Structure 1
């Protein structure tokens, strides 16, 4: 794979394009909200139906049941964002508008930004200064982190959060399973198992496999109904635990300790604590499998941009101190915790990397 970090290793603008980009940044919230409105009230869908003929402001306003003034200001902002272009007095949907309307990844990202992140990000500077998720107060000022309260998020934030999370993890699950189940584990621990989708998928694929979800009790409560509905209660169980409790006991029978987009929910120091705790409880021959999105491993600059943008969700809303990491930092965390990476696999799609690690030999 070509080194994607090259996108950020040189100046990318001349003076004219730099000042243009600066204005786009300055007014980025206006463009986002206008684009959101154009999608939500059906303007993009209507223009798609009209094809190359397009439609006038009056036709669009009438079809979408809004006034011509409202249609006009939204459409003209859409011109600047490349969502549409003019042919005479007709607005015609552009390629950007088509992706905003139809691309599943773009829709998931946009919903997540609008419903989960938009208002809380007004508190980003406070979060940076305090090292705490100050934007979380938008949902509940009593919450210290978002993780124990995901099911308590108000709609549509709750639905958009889970859709975002599942979109990126589910895409990689099948290909990651080929590698993980290739080790023929009889027992697997799903650390930070969330709603249990990975655990259930693995158990369904291998009828001899036993899976234990290690997660906060609040998260296990979300997974339990799904486990029961799948008829998997005999082979998929839960173990309530706070993985940051460095001294707390853990079960130790797993052949594979699995973590999917889990470690990005913690700071560097916390990741080392979690990995050291796992190493302390691993049986001989066991492996740790880590599925993560690393911003430096992306084939396209837009993917690196998206991951670094999503890191600000962790800063302002989730917990105040985690992010999507550079792969070198995750390797450093593993070394500090006493692991070596035995294998790594690049997973096509959104750009996941699967790291397979084993404990380093203890000094005699």
Structure 2
């Protein structure tokens, strides 16, 4: 589905070497640009407009030393965040993105607050397929066990990142969810209950079964309780990594959103097999996720592909952002037949609809 390539087929030696240096110094550039944003340098330049400001003028405010300004703004200059005009630093378009674009800011916060320290352990995490970097946030075997207890600012940044991508999608998919008039719906990977809340609010007769780890369901129970929706909500604390645990049966429809990417292919295969067993005849499974191979623009694929190392170092050690063909292959092996695919949901989601094959 991609219309462009990430890089030209033929890249000159000099250009290639420059791109390689951007990789080598990437973490340093990241920290300097983040500092310029967080400490107000970029906002000050934005306020100055196209005239820009000299280092001397900015230092006179007392907010930053000349040393800090020169060091940070020179790195920003090299990254295209600012440019120089007759000795004046002026905010460039990439700088405006850092300063005003929500998705850029959420991605920066997520990378810094959740991933940055742990990614130092990526090599060992890949070798052992365990989230070795998670120790920088807490003593859990996976990040999902500790989401509600993450230290700040990691907790806020994690949920902002997760909800930013999923919340933009939920309002538009309710007609898809209830296209077959399901009465018993199971939300696997219910997290804080946002989908369940949307579904219960949309269809007053539906019965929702929430499946997730106990600590996550406690949050979902509280959230649904505050909305007066507990009467039609049923909670099933389940560690889906335990392949011996079955799912509640006789479900008309099973929903999974940004869930399977938390697991290895082997675990996904097991979850899909159990999901198929939980469905009634002709029951349906809907999977909404962010597939890097189904994005219209390379920028979206780039962001998704480079989220995968977080799953390795911080989340589970053996999961990633998958291609849609991976899910389709594993679902078909579990006795589920792909019916439809809908792309372009929210920022970067696709919806796969499967039916149980008898």
| Residues 213 and 30 of structure 1: CA distance in aligned 2, closer, same or farther (over 3 Å) | same
Q: Measure the CA separation in 2 of the matches of 1:47 and 1:181.
A: 50
Counterpart position of 1:263: 260
Alignment of 1:4-83 (within 5 A): 4=2, 6-7=4-5, 11=9, 13-63=11-61, 65-83=63-81
Alignment pair present for 1:123 and 2:106: no
Specify which of 222, 245, 250 is matched with residue 248 of structure 1. 245
Alignment pair present for 1:291 and 2:288: yes
2:156 partner SS:
helix
Q: Measure the CA separation in 1 of the matches of 2:142 and 2:173.
A: 29
Using the size of structure 1 for normalisation, the TM-score is 0.95
Counterpart position of 1:134: 132
**Mean Cα deviation higher: 153-162 or 292-301:** 292-301
| Residues 223 and 12 of structure 1: CA distance in aligned 2, closer, same or farther (over 3 Å) | farther
Q: Measure the CA separation in 2 of the matches of 1:236 and 1:40.
A: 42
| Residues 12 and 287 of structure 1: CA distance in aligned 2, closer, same or farther (over 3 Å) | farther
Q: Measure the CA separation in 2 of the matches of 1:165 and 1:62.
A: 40
Q: Measure the CA separation in 1 of the matches of 2:61 and 2:302.
A: 36
How many residues align structurally? 358
- Residues 74-118 of structure 1: CA deviation (Å, up to 9, x unaligned): 001000111111111111110000001111111110100000000
Q: Measure the CA separation in 2 of the matches of 1:81 and 1:355.
A: 38
Q: How far does residue 71 in structure 1 lie from its aligned partner after superposition?
A: 1.0
Alignment of 1:310-349 (within 5 A): 310-349=307-346
- Residues 274-322 of structure 1: CA deviation (Å, up to 9, x unaligned): 0001111211231100001111111111211111110000011100100
Q: Measure the CA separation in 1 of the matches of 2:230 and 2:60.
A: 54
Q: How far does residue 347 in structure 1 lie from its aligned partner after superposition?
A: 2.8
Is the CA contact (8 Å cut-off) linking 2:281 and 2:356 kept in structure 1?
no
Q: Measure the CA separation in 1 of the matches of 2:19 and 2:7.
A: 18
Q: Measure the CA separation in 1 of the matches of 2:61 and 2:308.
A: 39
Counterpart position of 2:155: 158
| Residues 234 and 277 of structure 1: CA distance in aligned 2, closer, same or farther (over 3 Å) | same
| Residues 63 and 181 of structure 1: CA distance in aligned 2, closer, same or farther (over 3 Å) | farther
Alignment pair present for 1:305 and 2:305: no
1:11 partner SS:
coil
Unaligned runs of 5+ in 1: none
Is the CA contact (8 Å cut-off) linking 2:187 and 2:254 kept in structure 1?
yes
Is the CA contact (8 Å cut-off) linking 1:41 and 1:64 kept in structure 2?
no
- Residues 221-246 of structure 1: CA deviation (Å, up to 9, x unaligned): 12122111111111223211122332
Is the CA contact (8 Å cut-off) linking 2:125 and 2:132 kept in structure 1?
yes
- Residues 4-50 of structure 1: CA deviation (Å, up to 9, x unaligned): 17515863522111000001000001110011001100111111111
Q: Measure the CA separation in 1 of the matches of 2:3 and 2:239.
A: 35
Q: Measure the CA separation in 2 of the matches of 1:201 and 1:343.
A: 22
Unaligned runs of 5+ in 2: none
Counterpart position of 2:357: 360
Counterpart position of 1:89: 87
